[in-house]
Structure 1
């Protein structure tokens, strides 16, 4: 039987990931979004960016409806998604930073994860709704009334294109070219985003803040959807091509849908406690730190298994320790006090070194304990072993070539 010393059970990105909308952690949010610290240049430019983005998102939404531009409406949805994600993170800071207790031993990180799941679901629906509407605006004039009725019965259909009338009014709305004023709004958004990029980047460089510099580039990347909207609106207006704006709306809607799908599945995986991949930088940092501490405490103790589960901005860590299978003699010398001391020190130092690690489970397992390796882990280990063998073969061939040329 294995001897187990259990010392608690511990557990995010924008992440990580394509275009991520959860791009501020709890610690960073407290510093950069604290309204009481507006005297700080970093806090001030962050709030300016938030307010400018809010004004532009509202303006693009109203302008998109008034000027009949689907690409501008889609762009506004994309802008609102960033704002909602930031508000979500800020509103859950007081929960995610709480310490675990008897009622919630894993902490409150899943509050943010659940919120992210809801935001991603809304994004996904909005992207499909706008994308479907844009698609209908392109192909609507070529559809029969019967086909239009079938499309109207689907859960995602265009309300603005006149599908409820299904007759000539739907075709007429589909053939309507977006007003050129919508392009001016898109251009204003591009200029505002570029100014935010330069101003935020300047402050970030002055303060040597990687977070502010990352936010600056986030402003520039977000302006790309406004560029798509401006180009398609202008082209449709000047070339009198009614479907150009719809093409822009479809492109932006696909981007929004992609972000929604990515965020939804990432949040869902966190909710069901999917372990972090081993090539994740956070995983490797924790693994390296544990190995360093083990080397200092007892070189005979090895990591048998390490699982890191994201939970919002927090992390749960499950660590299993043991000795080498070739060192069974030392395993018999381990006492409960020795194992308990190592577990307690490891747990304390890791939680101290990594502020996002709120809870950690440390267990000792015996070499006599036979654990069934999950199929996914077995395949992963096989791939890793084959990769290591190929690298060894490559090094060996290289060594032989060097010896041949130097002989």
Structure 2
């Protein structure tokens, strides 16, 4: 337990570090892009600055969440406060979606005014090109740092932020192409066009993030490899048969496991308990990050219609699915 406590403290330190790095880096880039965007009149640069403003909000959220998830379990939250990280990631997807929607709508209105009323659009200035180049370099460094820290901390929100920053690199590169064409080829209409496409890209990322986080919030699990490891660990214990009604759900960086096993019907309660403890130890060794494991012991040969209950997997279910996929 002490080792787990130390590991959790180290994880929280990494999450806070990632939040501070992201906050400082994005605050600088956001300020630069918004100022240059307003001065140069570039809608694409303003759009990129708006996206970075969202990243600043994400970094602040990460720091707040690191304080929430550090709280120990209590009677109101017996599984701890780890889901605050998941909830924060879900909120993040809505923020990103809103920013992308507003950006696309603004760019679409600008394009409508240009083609419908012949609105004159100013050509972005050279500083807009420079600040976008700086943004690309800065986002690459931030994305790399978030990816490394997110992997070490096994943090959903940091990993999502790293993916978001990689998308930002593509966004800034697109903005650079649009502004470059507008400046050097005197085609300012490309600026709102790029801004509109960037908005669509942001929306796509928000939807993808929502779908990923929703699986965890719904206590789902699409990682079949985890079930394979679970059943292999159970199979290593002599006298334990027919593992079934297995369910694995994620709680932040940890796994909560429920399953049924069968033991010989003439086995004593003490012996059955020892078998369950052996299964628990084997599973924890096979699958790192187990928060809790609940094992229900049944006598072998008991007729149980668990297949009709509609939840949980047995070993045959997993390998049947693998065979069909292959």
User: In the alignment, is the contact (CA less than 8 A) between 1:315 and 1:356 conserved in 2?
Assistant: yes
Aligned residue for 1:301?
Answer: 241
5+ residue gaps, structure 2: 1-7, 154-158
SS of the residue 2:247 aligns to = strand
Aligned residue for 2:273?
Answer: 340
* CA drift at 1:130: 0.2
Aligned residue for 1:68?
Answer: 41
User: In the alignment, is the contact (CA less than 8 A) between 1:107 and 1:358 conserved in 2?
Assistant: no
Q: Aligned to 1:110, which of 65, 76, 83? A: 83
Residue 53 in 1 paired to residue 36 in 2? no
User: In the alignment, is the contact (CA less than 8 A) between 1:109 and 1:312 conserved in 2?
Assistant: yes
* CA drift at 1:295: 4.4
Aligned residue for 1:223?
Answer: 169
Q: Which has the higher helix share?
A: 2
User: In the alignment, is the contact (CA less than 8 A) between 2:244 and 2:312 conserved in 1?
Assistant: no
Aligned residue for 2:5?
Answer: none
Q: d(CA) in 2 for partners of 1:176 and 1:229?
A: 16
Q: d(CA) in 1 for partners of 2:284 and 2:64?
A: 24
User: In the alignment, is the contact (CA less than 8 A) between 2:237 and 2:279 conserved in 1?
Assistant: no
5+ residue gaps, structure 1: 1-24, 35-42, 144-167, 324-329, 392-407
- Say if 1:374 and 1:115 are closer, same or farther in 2 by CA, change over 3 A: same
Q: d(CA) in 1 for partners of 2:284 and 2:46?
A: 45
User: In the alignment, is the contact (CA less than 8 A) between 2:20 and 2:59 conserved in 1?
Assistant: no
SS of the residue 1:172 aligns to = coil
Q: Per-residue CA shift, 1:30-72, capped at 9, x if unaligned?
A: 14745xxxxxxxx9xx966652332012221333233332322
* CA drift at 1:81: 3.9
Larger Rg computed on CA atoms: 1
SS of the residue 1:92 aligns to = helix
> Structure 2 length as normaliser, TM-score?
0.75
Q: Per-residue CA shift, 1:265-290, capped at 9, x if unaligned?
A: 333333232x21133x5x25xx5266
Q: Aligned to 2:258, which of 318, 321, 324? A: 318
SS of the residue 2:125 aligns to = coil
Q: d(CA) in 2 for partners of 1:232 and 1:270?
A: 38
Q: Aligned to 1:236, which of 169, 182, 199? A: 182
- Say if 1:28 and 1:231 are closer, same or farther in 2 by CA, change over 3 A: farther
Which gives a bigger RCO, structure 1 or 2 (Cα 8 Å, sep 6+)?
A: 1
Q: Aligned to 1:185, which of 125, 131, 151? A: 131
SS of the residue 1:136 aligns to = helix
SS of the residue 2:119 aligns to = helix
SS of the residue 2:173 aligns to = helix
User: In the alignment, is the contact (CA less than 8 A) between 1:70 and 1:130 conserved in 2?
Assistant: no
Q: Aligned ranges for residues 85-234 of structure 1 at < 5 Å?
A: 85-143=58-116, 172=119, 175-193=121-139, 211=152, 222-234=168-180
